[in-house]
Amino acid sequence: MNKDSIDSKSKILKAAKKLFSQNGFDGTSTREIVKEAGVNISLISYYFGSKENVFFSLFDNFNVETNTIDDKGNNINTISKFSSIITQIIKLRFEDPELVTILQQEIIMNSKRTEKFRQVLLPTWIRVKTLLSNGRKEGLFQFKDIDNAISFVMAVAIFPRQNPLFIEFVKKKENKNEIIEEILLFILKGLGFK
């Protein structure tokens, strides 16, 4: 693919992400996407085939690392593994809020596209659930129900603080790293980790 092709494809994806996060999938047309991207409408068919394929292409590189070995080749303990995954999830809120908004919209609407998201998100949720279970067995976490625990953890981790509805309650300029650290500490304390 030449540079112009990569640029056009990137412009389409950037425009689509912006519009899907603002208007939802159903509220965004291909004409609006290409107008925002400044490209010819035929390029959506050429690169993606359909609006739905543009939509799913936004998640092609969506993954959360689940490393079990540190930089020195040592096994990482349960708390470090858990903290690493949750930190990455929280960072995603700050680094790609439009993508997180799109995910939340689709999940809340339980759209026909939700099954595809399940495939994208399930490996991370399974990994978090496994680490919660291991942490409880190791005596690191104190919670009664694993399903409640994962629901609470993920809700706190992905809550959209940048949402205009909540921005008014956050008066000071936010420091991403401090917030990530505080949210992680809040989650660990909520799980009974000392």
Query: Does pTM top 0.85 for this prediction?
Result: no
CATH superfamily of the domain spanning 3-58: Homeodomain-like (1.10.10.60)
Provide the pLDDT for residue 65: 66
Helices 78-95 and 97-109 pack at an angle, to 10 degrees, of 100
pLDDT number for residue 172: 59
Residues of the chain whose pLDDT is less than 50? none
Within 8 A by CB and 6+ apart from 168, the residues are none
- Backbone phi, then psi, for 12, in 5-degree steps? -65, -45
Give start-end residues of each CATH 1.10.357.10 domain in the chain. Answer: 78-191
Element (H, E) at 137: helix 114-137
Domain with CATH 1.10.10.60 in the chain: 3-58
The predicted structure's pLDDT at residue 143: 94
Residue 16: C-alpha distances to residues 61, 91, 130 (Å): 16, 22, 35
Closest by Cα among 43, 50, 45, 49 to 10: 43
Multiple choice CATH, 78-191, 3.30.1340.10, 3.40.50.720, 3.90.950.20, 1.10.357.10? 1.10.357.10
How many Å apart are CA 181 and CA 164, to the nearest integer?
23
pLDDT score recorded for residue 119 = 82
**Whole-number percent of the chain with pLDDT over 70:** 82
